[in-house]
Amino acid sequence: MEIVNPVVKRWQQDAAADPDAFWARAAARLPWFRPWERAFVWDPPTFRWFVGGLTNLSYNALDRHVTGGRAGHAALIAADERGERQAVTYAQLLAGVRAIAAALRGLGVQRGDRVAIYMPTIPEAIAAMLATTRIGAIHLVVFAGFGSGALAERIRLAGARVLLTADTTWRKGRDVDLWGIAAEALDDPDTPIEHVVVLPRRAAPPTLQPGRDLTWDEFLARGRGNSDAHEVMEANEPAYVLATSGTTAEPKLAVHSHGAYQVGIHSMGEWCFGLRPDDVWWSTSDIGWVVGHSYIVYAPLLAGCTTIAYEGALDHPDPTTFYRIVAEHRVTGIFTAPTAVRMLMAHGTAPARDHDLSAVERVVCAGEPLNAPAWAWLQKEVFGDRVPVIDHMWQTETGGPVFGNPYGISLLPIKPGSAGIPLPGVFADVRTREGEPCPVGEKGIVVLTRPFPGLTPTIWGDPDRYAREYWQRIPGVYFTGDAASVDADGYYWFSGRADEIIKIAGHRIGTIEVETAFLRHPAVAEAGVCGRPDDVRGEVVAAFVVVRAGHEPSADLRRELIATVRRELGPVAVIGEINFVRLLPKTRSGKIMRRVFKAVCLDRDPGDISTIEDAGSVDEARAAWRQLQAELAPEA
């Protein structure tokens, strides 16, 4: 398996020859208050990067640009679905960060304390993140859409002393009462929260608890007389903790550090995405997810470019919203999710036609594999083959990209449906559960054979769980939990989570493969599948399908879809049933929660669904399943 591109091949060879030196060179491209003594120390499963090096993530994202001549350059553009816009320069953002840093110190927040942030993607929230890392505290951002139970659980796991929130956010034209949700979470008798700060955004002021709660202005007033200076942090001190995204039932807090994390996301921002200072970069994610941390906030600011922070839905108030923002701000680089692409695809290309997208130079996608039909629609119909649409793969635990197409180094041929190759400095393989390497084309479990900067070094408060779940499942390697195969050119083809592989009569089929086959039919907007037990074949496919506008569910469409999947995958892909639904159960980061389908088919409780985008999708899937079973049942 060899990459023939000579530039990329040279990078990979340099990394393989001396990984520590390779990453040390990458780290040297960022400022350090004091250089490291050792680039890497590894005593499996524990490891440390840039040991003894002194730095600060927030300082490198802001102060050095302000003192280096970019004070007046736009750091971020805040936009929302209501049409409001606000540009914030690097100097203005730094001033806001320093004010919050002093105010946090005014509340008694010290180095190593945890600060929970339950806010939408707005300038105050981003400034709060940067202020927390500036003073050496550790932020826990909780997506402003989670319910009170999920918020309370994450606060408990982190042991957060302070909660910063807003009273309201907006989603598809609705006011979402964040303060009501936060107040309910704070009723938890085990909450460690001592101080709560509320940013008022609506006319009626929130009802606060005296002695505990402050308005935003009262909070900032606490900063008077306190230092707003940055802390000097050892490279391995934590900058933030963040819960994994929740397609599985048990949340855990991944830890990311000041030193290794910034080296990882800064490097991959350049190598994978081509980030540069004159970019206007739009990651359509939310700060509540790792994509928002890494590629709305920290990596674009480390690069010195302009990042767009968007609050709301990409298709509200109408399907032109996404394209209007791209055109209005002359966006040069877009990072979005396959779910968002499929949502836009359901509306067709008409919403894009009246907008000037000529500034766009590249589009990158992650979250789940970008199915080939969705890739072809965006690549060819929206952008007319003018710019590359590039898939890549990473996780909350990795902090930044692991697999991708190194656009910023030298673009490789795009293979639609593949996440690309292991990026320079990343060492990966596909193994069996017994740890044996899989031959070319054979599905197995993706593992990392060596840590790289950005990979979480532990789980907050539970190092034993970290060792058990990541390094002991296949001893000696890092277990990603994802299934994939590798082709003869070294490209990785992800099939879904390892525990989501469907086994039909001894054949192993990935959920992504089946869902991609459904998307080949022009009537399908989205599809989610799982395996369900079958007496004859072991398992068959249970499918849940969302149809595009202009199409209607019917028995004829079911037959067409079965024929489409059979044509794409062959007779081994046995479809047990196709259930038509209005929406799929997905996390708020856009990942399909296939375990919900499994629970529906087995008539079981789906477990923790606190991360779900719309809880009604579970009831809808269950109702569709029961209705179809009743239709298929033989008459008594």
Span between the terminal Cα atoms of the chain, in Å: 58
Q: Please say if the pLDDT value at position 248 is more than 70.
A: no
Whether pLDDT at 589 is above 90: no
Query: How many percent of the chain have pLDDT more than 90?
Result: 81
**pLDDT at residue number 636:** 40
* pLDDT tens for each residue of 344-367: 998 999 999 999 999 999 999 998
Q: Give the residue with greater pLDDT, 266 vs 635.
A: 266
Confidence of residue 145 (pLDDT cuts 50, 70, 90): confident
**Residue 382 reports pLDDT greater than 60:** yes
What is the CB neighbour count within 10 angstroms for residue 429? 17
Q: How many CB atoms lie within 10 A of CB 467?
A: 15
Q: What is the pLDDT of residues 510-563, one digit of tens each?
A: 788 899 889 999 999 999 999 999 888 888 999 999 999 889 999 999 999 999
227: pLDDT strictly greater than 80: yes
Distance between CA atoms of residues 131 and 97, nearest Å: 5
How confident is the model over 38-78, as pLDDT tens digits? Answer: 999 999 999 999 999 999 999 999 999 999 999 999 999 99
* Whole-angstrom distance, CA of residue 461 vs CA of residue 478: 19
**pLDDT (tens digit, 9 = 90+) per residue, 115-126?**
999 999 999 999
Higher per-residue pLDDT: 249 or 77: 77
In this prediction, residue 247 carries a pLDDT of 43
**Spatial distance between the Cα atoms of 42 and 449, rounded to a whole number of angstroms:** 12
Hey, which bits of 475-583 come out as E strands?
478-486, 492-497, 502-504, 507-509, 524-534, 538-547, 575-580
Longest C-alpha distance within the chain, in Å?
81
> 482-511: per-residue pLDDT in tens?
999 999 999 999 988 887 778 887 677 878
Q: What are phi and psi of 139, to 5 degrees?
A: -95, 145
In contact, 634 and 589? CB cutoff 8 Å = no
For residue 175, the model assigns a pLDDT of: 92
pLDDT at 3 > cutoff 80: no
Given a cut of 70, whether residue 265 has pLDDT beyond it is yes
Three-class secondary structure assignment of 611-631? CECCCHHHHHHHHHHHHHHHH
pLDDT over 80 at 1, yes or no: no
When pLDDT is averaged across residues 191-204 and rounded to a whole number, the result is 95
Tens-place pLDDT, residues 274-297: 999 999 999 999 999 999 999 999
Question: What's residue 506's pLDDT?
Answer: 67
Domains of the chain with CATH codes:
6-65+74-313+392-485 (3.40.50.12780), 509-632 (3.30.300.30)
Instruction: Judge contact between 612 and 249, C-beta under 8 A.
Output: no
Summarised one tens digit per residue, pLDDT across range 383-396 is 999 999 999 999 99
Average pLDDT, rounded, for the chain: 93
The pTM of the whole model exceeds 0.85: yes
Mean pLDDT on 185-206: 93
Residue 114 has pLDDT above 70, yes or no: yes
Q: What percent of the chain has pLDDT over 70?
A: 97
- 211-225, 248-262, 439-453: which range is least confident on average? 248-262
Q: Which residues contact 460 (CB under 8 A, 6 or more apart)?
A: 157, 158, 238, 241, 252, 253, 254, 255
What pLDDT score does 2 carry? 59
In whole angstroms, what is the distance from residue 493 CA to residue 418 CA? 5
Task: Identify the pLDDT of residue 591.
Answer: 80
pLDDT of residue 570: 79
Q: Cα angle vertex 493, ends 488, 496, to 5°? A: 150
| Rounded Cα–Cα distance for residues 203 and 215 (Å) | 14
